[in-house]
Structure 1
Amino acid sequence: MFFHEPELQYEVTVENPDPHFAKLLQQAIGGQEGEMRVAMQYMFQAWALPEEYEEYRTLLMETAVEELGHIEMLATAVTKNLRGSSKQMSEDAEAVASTAASMTGQNPRQFLSAGQSAMPVDSNGVPFSGGYVVASGNLAGDLYANVMAEGTGRTLATRLYEYTDDPGMRDMLSYLIARDTMHQNQWLAALESLENPTPVPASFPQEEENQDVNYAFMSTRREQQPDPEAPWTQGDAPDSRGEFSYLAEQPGDGDGVPPAPDPSTYNVPEDE
């Protein structure tokens, strides 16, 4: 169940409307690093958790709904950047050629399809894809994915911050960057609260995996290379269940020749 209040989570102001910046902001809405991605990701992750994980389900849902508020903020910012410069855009709209010229710096569909409004697309106008969403049903794996999602989202927000000099937009982005900081840390804290988060899934019996290579860094170079004695080739593994080692070459065995196809596929040329 959701409730909505006609008030933004954080105030959004635009002092110098910029249709081109509106196009860039679309990435933070419907792009792979955007708020639609994390909102849907956290919801589907929460909906997969059984009763005994209620604490984590609540954490995920609270954050998911917060992200919906971020979408609303960004959509407001896009619309204000598009419509706020209406004097110049209205003058341009009086002539087809001028309208086309005014749209070169923005997504034309924001004008043609949405009437100077935000859309569920990225900065190139590509519609949001559910393929961006990671919800595996494994809590540890999903939490790692959430750290990555917040990391890429924060990187995007900082780039947008550096791109604009509008005080209102920088204020809004400063808020979103701060929330990304919190979300990265909360997911890391949630991971630390799990008894055995790695390897994912931790419930698989490790004795069933190949013990010769499960903690070995494998070189794929043609000529054998010496052990670089790096943190990932020696010492205890982070999961405390094994010790890193180094393989100077791949095991190598068998061949990749496939069996003959069914004749009905006509994959093989006719015999001469």
Structure 2
Amino acid sequence: MFKHVDYLQFQAKPEKPDAFFAAKLQELVGGQFGEMTVMMQYLWQGWSCRVPGKYKDMIMDIATEEIGHVEMLTTMLARLLEGGPAEATEKAAAANPVLAAVLGGQNPQHSIVTGGGPMPTNSQGVPWQAGYIVASGNLLADFRSNVAAEAQSRLQTSRVYNMTDDRGVKDMLQFNLARDTYHQQQWLLGIEQLIEDGFTDSPIEQSNGDVEKDFARRTFYSFDPESQAAEGRWARGETLLGDKIEYVPDAQPLTDDKPLGPAPDPKLFVTYDGSQGKGKPGTGAGAHAQGMANVVNKIKGALD
């Protein structure tokens, strides 16, 4: 259950309307790294969290705060769009090419689609999509993603902050910048807590680490003979897991396997030179046989 308080978390009062700037501000609402993304990302992570108590509560607290941030931004957008383009504006633009050019930077959907209100889109009018969010169920991996999301969100907020002289807009964005600064730290401190509580033994996601190719987990491959990458910390000393880093200049293939698929099904009409032999026609019976073979192989593997 969510409860709504009929006040914004922080004020969203522009000094004056500015429909041109509102088009830019849309990026902070429905862009890939906008507030809608972090809101939905944290909500999904919180709802999916299998660790009741402080972890789930922390995720849900931040997620709920992000709902309020979306509300702040959408309120600011509505106020910036007050008195947007109308017939009088169009007549003025027709008589003034410079004004027409300025008005050309506005998002016409603010007037046509929402009647002077905000939209769940980015600054180009592209709708927000759920594919932006990350919610894997693994808190270490998710917290890493959250740090990156907050960093990108803060960077874009900082850029938009420099695109306006409106003191009211800047006042709200100063608050948003500060929250993004703290949220980055919350997720990093969350990783420290995961280690302290024994949910992971390192800050690096390494599920099935015991089956990794040992040489590959500590090797930096360079594919440019003139690369200067060897000068970086990432190519010398120890890894964060304590392995000695090996730098391989002008890396070469580790196999003689070439990227060629099998002979294609002749019924698929693939352009093919015959070098892989004759292709096997795919049929329902063939698919069934392959499925049965997969089951048999799994049983054999389990017995072995």
Instruction: Answer yes or no: same fold by TM over 0.5.
Output: yes
1:235 maps to which of 216, 234, 237: 237
> What's the offset of the Cα at 1:228?
2.2
Aligned Cα root-mean-square deviation (Å): 2.5
Report if the CA contact (8 A) 2:222-2:229 is conserved. no
Is 1:267 the equivalent of 2:266?
A: no
- Partner residue of 1:246? 247
- Partner residue of 2:260? 257
- Partner residue of 2:300? none
Q: Which whole-Å deviations, capped at 9, do the CAs of 1:163-217 have from their partners, x for residues lacking one?
A: 10000000000000000011011111111122224431x342x231111111100
- Partner residue of 1:91? 88
Report if the CA contact (8 A) 2:230-2:236 is conserved. no
When structure 1 is superposed on structure 2, of 231-240 and 58-67 the one drifting more is 231-240
Is 1:127 the equivalent of 2:145?
A: no
- Partner residue of 2:35? 35
- Partner residue of 2:204? 199
Equivalent residue of 2:55, what SS? helix
Report if the CA contact (8 A) 1:42-1:64 is conserved. yes
Equivalent residue of 2:220, what SS? strand
Query: Percent same amino acid among aligned pairs?
Result: 38
Q: Distance in 1 between matches of 2:24 and 2:227?
A: 45
TM-score by length of 2: 0.80
Q: Which segments of 5 or more consecutive residues in structure 1 lack a partner in the other structure? A: none
Q: Distance in 1 between matches of 2:191 and 2:121?
A: 31
Q: Distance in 2 between matches of 1:112 and 1:12?
A: 24
Report if the CA contact (8 A) 1:147-1:188 is conserved. yes
Q: Which segments of 5 or more consecutive residues in structure 2 lack a partner in the other structure? A: 196-200, 275-304
**AA at the equivalent of 2:177:** I
**AA at the equivalent of 1:265:** L
- Partner residue of 2:147? 147
Q: Distance in 1 between matches of 2:59 and 2:187?
A: 9
Rg larger for: 2
Q: Distance in 2 between matches of 1:104 and 1:110?
A: 13
Larger relative contact order, structure 1 or 2 (CA cutoff 8 Å, min sep 6): 1
| Equivalent residues in 2 for 1:20-169, closer than 5 Å | 20-50=20-50, 52-83=51-82, 85=83, 89=86, 91-92=88-89, 101=100, 103-169=103-169
Summarize the Cα distance change of 1:232–1:15 in structure 2 as closer, same or farther, 3 Å threshold: same
TM-score by length of 1: 0.89
Summarize the Cα distance change of 1:225–1:13 in structure 2 as closer, same or farther, 3 Å threshold: closer
- Partner residue of 2:211? 208
Report if the CA contact (8 A) 2:235-2:247 is conserved. yes
